Each structure stands twice: as structure tokens, then as C-alpha cells.
Amino acid sequence: MRKISYAAAIAEALRISLTEDPRVSLIGSYVLGLGPKRVLMDPIRADFADRIYDPPISEAAIVAIGAGAAMAGARPFVDIGTGSFAYVGWSPLVNEAAVACHMSNGTLRVPVVYHCLHGLRGGGAAQHSHSPQAMLWNAAGLEIVIPSSPYDVKGLIRSAIKSDNPTMFVNHARLMDIEGDVPEEDYTIPLGRADIKRPGRDVTVIATSYVVHAALAAAATLAGEGIDVEVLDPRSLVPLDKDTILQSVGRTGRLVVADETNESCGIASELSAIVAEHGFKSLRAPILRVARPNIPTPFSQPLEQAITPTAEKIAEAVRRSMAMS
């Protein structure tokens, strides 16, 4: 199959969506970040100039405008930029977009997609390294999509834009250059379907976004030690594919959750709670988390590395899990 970059897959999905549905528009077109891959958006900007609006630095306004436009029947894809900037638009995100459907007794639809680049990107320090998805998971009413591969991002953007719900689409700057197989034709991946990135017998490692690649690297290392790791990527947090997660842990009996959100009330915490609650009988060892400690992200590389969920930390957690009971 054809191999393209993660960034190219995003651009392709946006082009198909803009072509297919005249209600789709972009508020902010720097979806691929400021790295070298950003030029892949140039032809889209040229071809759909009448439906691409690059806004001022006004996150609160564009989040609200996206919600209002969606209520009015448009299908905007709103780029918030760095994940930390989502906090500037927090109120319209959680007080408007997320609640309108429920608050209107289902009479309103808010088919908006918000997009951001979350996470540890190298020297982003405390204000440019946030992963807002855990806090947003705490706010009911938003779909949250968080892919890790070029194939997944293309199919999931297609589904997110088609969804009638407000969706936070969480990407990562470090994914942009990753290459993978992507069909040229259009396809969708339904939200709420996890993917087993590597089957294994001994331990389940659930990981999201860029950390999926760290988990795969850890699995490769551990294979050399005779430990067979299953790497599971939920691909969306809302809706969440609990069945695939519980079935995997049912087979392996051990779970490590690796994720860039903070340890307290983070993605790893919630996934651990779900498995503890619904899969307790399968567990042969305590669930272990490899998350970001509750420390504002430091700038200096040794400090940033100390809080990053790396392949080494994941491998170490797997070894600990295997050593228990």
C-alpha cells in the first residue's frame, strides 16, 4: 500500500471533507503545526480559499464561533493550535459546545470539530506542552479523538467531521513526520473502536497518541526478553471501546496504561478505574500507570525527559507487572 506521512494523511482527509460537503470550512488552517510539513496545507488553502478563514489570536472567540456556526448548520473544523491554548477557549468549549445538545433536550446539534496539537514536543515548557484531553474527558458532551497512525488519522478525521457531535480532535506535533500505509481512496474509521497495534499474550499496554510509538518500542525490547506485549490504542476516548480493552486484559491479565496526560485524573487514571471496576477478576497484578507526574512541564531537557512517558519507563512498568504475582 502507499506510504504517506501522518501530516499528509490529515491534509488528505481535510481535502476530501471540504470537497464532499460544502458546509465544511476551516477556521484556522495551520493544522499541521509550524514544522516543515505545514506546506502540505498550501494547496488546500489555494483550492478552498472561500471556506478557509485564518483568525486572529482569539481562541475564546473561535471556539464560540465554531459552536454557534455548527448550531446554525455549518460544519466548521476549528484549529486551536497548541493544546495549551484550548484553555483560553475553555468556557465556550465546556459551557456551550459540550452541553447544547443535552440542554436543548436533543433539539440542537453542534457538529463542530476542534483540533489541537497536544503534548510534550521538546522545550515547550509549562505553557506549550499541555494535554487538555483528560480535563475535556471530565466535561461531558464532547467526543474526543486521539489517533496515532497515518491510517487512523485519515479515517478518524473523516468520521469526526461527519459526526453530529462536538469533537475535540487531539493530534501531536511529533506524529506529523511518521510514515505509514494509507489507502488513496476515501474511508472512515468509526469513533469508539480501539485498535490492537501489536497483539501479545503477556501484558496489555494501553497507550494513546505519540505514546503508542513508545509502547511499540518497549514491546520490541521486551520481546527480546521473552515478554509478549499487546499494545492497544483506544483511538477515541469518547466514545470509548471498553469491550476491546476488557477483552485484551481478559487475555493477558496484566495492564499498564501509558499516556502523556497528568497522573491525577488523567487518561491512565480513568482507564485504570474502568478496568479495575469491570475487569477485576481478570487481573493478576495491580494496574500500573506511566503518566506525566503532576509537575508543570519544565523546559530543560533532562527535566522534561524525567516526566516524559518513554519506552524505557513503559518497559520497566511491564517488567514490574510481570514480576508481581
Partner 1 sequence: MTITSLDRRTSLSIFDRMLMMRHFEEAVIRLYKDGRFVSHYHIYIGQEATGGAVLEALGAKDLICTTHRNHGHIIGRGSDPNRAMAEILGRATGFNGGRGGTLHLCDPSLGFLSTSAIVGGCPGLATGAGYGIKVKREPHVSVGFFGDGALEEGLVIECFNIAALWKLPVVYVCENNSPGAMGPQQGGYPTATTATDSFTRLPAAYGIHCMKVDGIDAGAVYAATTEAIERCRAGSGPVFIEAFTTRWPGSSPLWPELATATDLNQAWEPARIAGPHADWLRDHDPLLRAARELATVGHASRDELMARDQTARKRIAAAAEFAIASPMPDSATVAAHVFA
Of 91 and 325, the one with the shorter C-beta distance to partner 1 is 91
Q: Are strands 229-233 and 236-238 parallel, antiparallel or unpaired?
A: unpaired
**Residue of the chain from 104, 264, 300, 325 that contacts partner 1 (CB under 8 A):** 300
Out of 128, 130, 172, 213, the active site residue is 128
**Residue of the chain from 40, 211, 307, 314 that contacts partner 1 (CB under 8 A):** 307
Least distance in angstroms from the C-beta of 45 to partner 1: 9
Stretch that binds partner 1, among 164-172, 217-225, 301-309, 313-321 (CB under 8 A): 301-309
Per CB under 8 A, 91 contacts partner 1: no
Per CB under 8 A, 93 contacts partner 1: no
Q: What is the tally of helices (H) and strands (E) in the chain? A: 12, 14
Per CB under 8 A, 325 contacts partner 1: no
Residues that contact partner 1, how many (by CB under 8 A): 34
Whether 118 sits among the annotated catalytic residues: the reply is no
What CA–CA distance (Å, rounded) separates 75 from 149? 24
Per CB under 8 A, 177 contacts partner 1: no
The grid cell for 291 is 503518566
The grid cell for 255 is 495492564
10 Å CB burial of residue 252 (0-12, 13-18, 19+) is: buried
Q: What is the DSSP string of 88-156?
A: GGHHIIIIIITTHHHHTTT------EEEEEES--SS-TTTS---THHHHHTSTT-EEE---SHHHHHHH
10 Å CB burial of residue 54 (0-12, 13-18, 19+) is: exposed
Query: Pattern 125-164, binding to partner 1, x per CB under 8 A?
Result: xxxx------------------------------------
Per CB under 8 A, 265 contacts partner 1: no
Closest by Cα among 81, 102, 94 to 137: 94
Query: Pattern 22-61, binding to partner 1, x per CB under 8 A?
Result: --------x---x----x--------------xxxxxxxx
Per CB under 8 A, 124 contacts partner 1: yes
Residue 277 three-state SS: helix
Whether the CB-CB separation of 13 and 151 falls below 8 Å is answered with no
Of 53 and 187, the one with the shorter C-beta distance to partner 1 is 53
- Cβ-based neighbour number of residue 254 at 10 Å: 26
Stretch that binds partner 1, among 72-80, 196-204, 261-269, 287-295 (CB under 8 A): 287-295
Least distance in angstroms from the C-beta of 90 to partner 1: 12
Residue whose entry in the numeric block shows the C-alpha cell 499541521? 32
Least distance in angstroms from the C-beta of 29 to partner 1: 9
Contact residues for partner 1, defined by CB under 8 A: 30, 34, 39, 54-61, 84-85, 88, 122-128, 293-296, 298-303, 305-307
Catalytic machinery residues:
128
